[in-house]
Structure 1
Amino acid sequence: MDIVSKRKWYFFISALILIPGILSLMIPPWINPGIDFSSGSAIEIGFADEVLEDDVRAVLGELGHSDARIQRLASDTVFVRMQELKEGELPKIIAALTSGVGTVRGVPQVDTVSAEVAGETVRNAIIAVSIAAMGILFFITWSFRHIPNSFRYGVAALLALGHDVLIIVGIFSILGKAIDLEVNAMFIVGLLAVAGYSVNDTIVVFDRIRENVARNIDRPFGESVNISIMESMGRSLGTSLTTLFALLALLLIGGSTLREFLLVLMIGVLAGTYSSIFIASQFLVMWNRGELGRFFRLVTLRRPRVAGNS
């Protein structure tokens, strides 16, 4: 099977997946931020008797907190996340829950995230992702230093990672507008986990490329890449399917708190498997054959013509 020769189709498929997400990101709000990135309050409420999430949600809705997110920690304990509480509002909520749901025996935890703290969380998230990306670039470049153009492998891995992250963010942007899915701190944790998984999957393919190139220097690079993909595809697909089954089980039995995290991982595993085989490796072939240089030269030459015609 000649995978390398069909690389234009793989980029076309990626474009079909990426474009809807990019268009959604261009429509404000580009994502639906949770309280970790906007502001809000998180409350743990203990009741004297067993309670149901729907009953708590109904009472909070009557108080103007219909957007509150409720997770049942135990039969008599719930965890509530809502917009930032105003001064003196918590006693009113407790009184309403006592009247409408059951006796509240205590509120062991109340956390409020202000707008300033939320802004700092956003900055820290950006810094964390940026540091991870730079670390990946330097690590792969150093690991492949004994072969020509090792820097290309690091850039290709980052390109594949950017491809995966953009797919995830785009899908969450669409889901945020469609079903009000929020992006919280677990989303960033999921992105960092996806970064590790995606790069690991890419390195598996790159390592096989390195071995095949070293064994037969005279073989065309595209042919070595194609052989390497075929040799590593079974391992990549097997690992991805096993991971997906485990994540699906967690998604079905886990609580709502882990939903965004698991969804990020599931999308990331699928995108990472695809990009390591059909994006990162093909990017290396294009760079090796000079196709990237011809593309950029073509773009550069067209700009003066457009300016001259105008």
Structure 2
Amino acid sequence: MAQGTEFADLQDELEGIFGPGDPQSVRTVGPIIGAELIRTSAILIIIGELFLLGYLWMRFGFRFGTAAIVALLHDVILVVGTFAILGFFFNVEFDALFVTALLTIIAFSVHDTIVVFDRIRENRIRHAGESFGAIVNHSILQTMSRSIITAITVAVTLGALVLLGPPTIRTFGLALLLGVVSGTYSSIFNAAQILVAWNDWDARRRSRSGVAKPVRSASR
């Protein structure tokens, strides 16, 4: 009842300024709806992460899957944190389109990470005599141009959407733009480096115990 009264008062005030009008749609977001949206978003993201984790574990192995999920969490937290700041200072809304953007970011980021991981797996066979860190470095250099070109192509399109698109989808475009940038560098500087650090730590641990066993990934 209170919301209906508030809408009527707002409509009367706007008609007093701009003249009579016919509202095309009315959308009210209260605290209950907002809490439900946040809860549903968290559930969707967690389910998506679990499915991706299972897929990556089966395809590449435990370490690769864990490193990829950490990189994905970094991307999601960065975008959500940025929009929390924007919401505090500029009243940017957290809506269903933002949730869609988060799920799209997860898909983009994991795809970019899989490209790097797949090259690492191939180079472990081609450069079997080299250290794991050197193999990862070769793989990053071989895939970096592809990742950068893809990111720039997508970023230009999203940038145009943010600058020239209608206000209703600018938040969506901005979230995707941040996610694409984050997903591109996290595949290289987060996921791959977690693998190297994990492998080095495991090598030191095994050398102290007298057992040397390098990191393994699932074969095709």
Common fold, TM-score beyond 0.5? yes
Residue of structure 1 in register with 2:55 after alignment: 139
1:169 matched to 2:58? The reply is no
**Residue 105 of structure 2: SS of its match in structure 1?**
helix
| Alpha-carbon distance between aligned partners in 1 of 2:3 and 2:203, rounded to the nearest angstrom | 56
**Residue 171 of structure 2: SS of its match in structure 1?**
helix
Larger strand percent: 1
Q: Percent identity?
A: 41
Residue of structure 1 in register with 2:39 after alignment: 123
Distance change >3 Å, CA 135–CA 255, structure 1 → 2: same
**Correspondence list, 1:105-116, <5 A:** 106-116=22-32
**Correspondence list, 1:1-310, <5 A:** 86-104=3-21, 106-144=22-60, 150-290=61-201
For structure 1, the 5+ residue unaligned runs are: 1-83, 145-149, 295-310
Q: What code does the residue aligned with 1:102 have?
A: G
Root mean square deviation of aligned Cα: 2.1
Distance change >3 Å, CA 252–CA 284, structure 1 → 2: same
1:151-181 deviations in Å (ceiling 9; x for gaps) = 1111010111111122222222222333333
| Alpha-carbon distance between aligned partners in 2 of 1:117 and 1:173, rounded to the nearest angstrom | 18
| Alpha-carbon distance between aligned partners in 2 of 1:95 and 1:196, rounded to the nearest angstrom | 45
Greater relative contact order: 1 or 2 (C-alpha under 8 angstroms, separation 6 or more)?
2
Distance change >3 Å, CA 182–CA 88, structure 1 → 2: closer
Distance change >3 Å, CA 94–CA 172, structure 1 → 2: closer
Residue of structure 1 in register with 2:211 after alignment: none
Contact 2:162-2:171 at 8 Å conserved across structures: no
Which has the greater radius of gyration?
1
Q: What code does the residue aligned with 1:274 have?
A: Y
TM-score under structure 2 normalisation? 0.85
Distance change >3 Å, CA 219–CA 248, structure 1 → 2: same
| Alpha-carbon distance between aligned partners in 1 of 2:36 and 2:12, rounded to the nearest angstrom | 34
| Alpha-carbon distance between aligned partners in 2 of 1:167 and 1:102, rounded to the nearest angstrom | 44
Contact 1:244-1:269 at 8 Å conserved across structures: yes
What is the aligned length? 205
Q: CA deviation at 1:99?
A: 2.5
Runs of 4+ in 1 over 6 A off after TM superposition: 291-294
Q: CA deviation at 1:290?
A: 1.4
